[in-house]
Structure 1
Amino acid sequence: MAMNINTATYDDLLLLENIGKSRANAILQERSKKKILSIQDLKLIPDIPENVWDNLVDTGKINFEPEEGSLKFNHEMQEYVRSLQENLRDKDKQLQSFNAAIEEQGQEFKTQMTGIEAQHQKNIAEIHMQFEEKLVNMQNQFKDNMEKEKVFREEREHHWNKREKELVQKHELELKINQMAPSGIYGKDPTLSEISVPSKTALLKHQTIPIKEEIKENKVPTVTKNQTTEDRYVKSSIEGPLTPKMSTFDGKADWRPYFAQFCHIVQTL
């Protein structure tokens, strides 16, 4: 009966021709590595010539059939290995798909971030532009307001200067009028209401003195009995024409017509 080289024990191997202890141990070590040996595996074992195995095979002393349990185990192992390989392939596919999804999401995220950054920069530029425009508008508005304020001040100053000049002229005119035609004579002077009665009398006396002196100076001399007509003519020609007679102011009517008449008479003198 042929010996199954894959199931033979150490003692069984010693029974084979040209197989000693060292060669039996080498066969067992090789079988423990590869689980199942073939003729090619046996010929690769060191220190055992190939013709030893050829003779054993030719004489039918050994064979390489694995036992049934070993075949079943090998089949299960192969199925298990195949299953592991399939699982690894599936896991690899899943990993590749996951990596692709991550890369795609990363690309989308990068695109979104690029868009967000661009929009952010655009918004900042718009805000900066709006701020610059608003600042320029505020500066222009402030400049316009300052110009308007300057013009307004100049106009107001011109107006007040003009008003002040008019008031000064009016005051000077009133002073001249009061000097030429005192209101105490030709009308009611508001300032007299604040003066006592003796002061009013003194003021009237003071105002009438220049007029009396002026009338006295311009008084036409009367003709005496000793003067001839020629003397009267010559003296009258030298002294000028007679002074026109002025209407008498009654103190009740408007004094301005009398004042105008007085000014006319003064100019004719």
Structure 2
Amino acid sequence: MAKPININKANFTQLKAIKKIGETRALAIIAKREEDGLLNLDNLKEIPEAPQSLWTALLNEKIICFEDPEESDEGQEVLKNTIESLRHKILSVEKSRDDMAETFQTKIEKISEQSKAHIEEQRLMFEQQRDVYTKQKQEQIEQMKEMIKSQNEEIKDIHEYSKKIQTQLQQKETLLKVEKVIAEKEEKSSPVQLLKGKYNANDHKHSDYGGPTAPKMSTYDGRNDWRPYYLQFSTIADRCKWQSEQRLYKLIECLRDKALKFYSSRPKFVQTNYESLCKKMEERFGRKEPPHIVRRLLQDLKQEQEESLEEFAERAQELATDGYPDTPDNFVQTSFWVLISWRNLEQLLIWQTTLST
């Protein structure tokens, strides 16, 4: 039996040699094969040049076929091998997919843990920076408060100083006005000129008192304590046996600066009366604390290390005299020396106790 002719591989010569095919139908088969590729029974039945039953009969008689039997077996084996290979590949891919999924999950978990750790680290760092920033801001606020407080105090001091300057300017302006008025009055009627009518040095030159010649008198400007100067002036006046008018005239000659301005601003009855003038000078320029202040200083009085007993006694007696102005001098001196004796005795006892220990 002849071998069937493969419709899909036969050439023109082989095709036209098939029973009942001929050249026309062979060309139609080739054209159909070029159009559809590999042909089957349905494709052949579509060829209009041949009846459909022809192809069925040729196929049943095994005159034609669509593929070689050996190739069919080989194709099935190849197909089987291909399927098996694909199955292994699919299994390998699935396994790789599972491995990749597991690896991916592990990576995700690791990344998640790292992210949590990083977020926690960032949170702690942020809290630390926030605390530092808050502390710095609080310190800056406190510094600003202190600065504002200091500036307010400075502003307050400036206001007080401005008020003080304003007051001083007003006082100075008032003083200038008063000095101007006094100068005008002095031009019209000088106190010394008034005294010249009452006192004449020539009248006293050969007076009955005949005291010694007065030394050159020191001046008084009001900057120091009045009492020592008054004591010196009174001593010289007593020695020279000056009368009240002489004392007044000499005192006026010795006044300078503040003291002279003070004298010029006094009423006329004070300017022309020696006792009244000395009393006013004592009130104005006497450096005397109130008696209760002096007594408190006297209670806390202590002898300095390099101060002699005589110097300490003189300083304490002066305070005692100022602190008890109505007490007789001899009583003050007696009480003071008793106090000094008791204090020296107390210091001596302390010294002896120190030596014995």
TM score, norm. by length of structure 1: 0.44
Q: Say which structure, 1 or 2, has more relative contact order (CA 8 Å, 6+ apart).
A: 1
Bigger Rg over Cα: 1
TM-score, normalised with respect to structure 2: 0.35
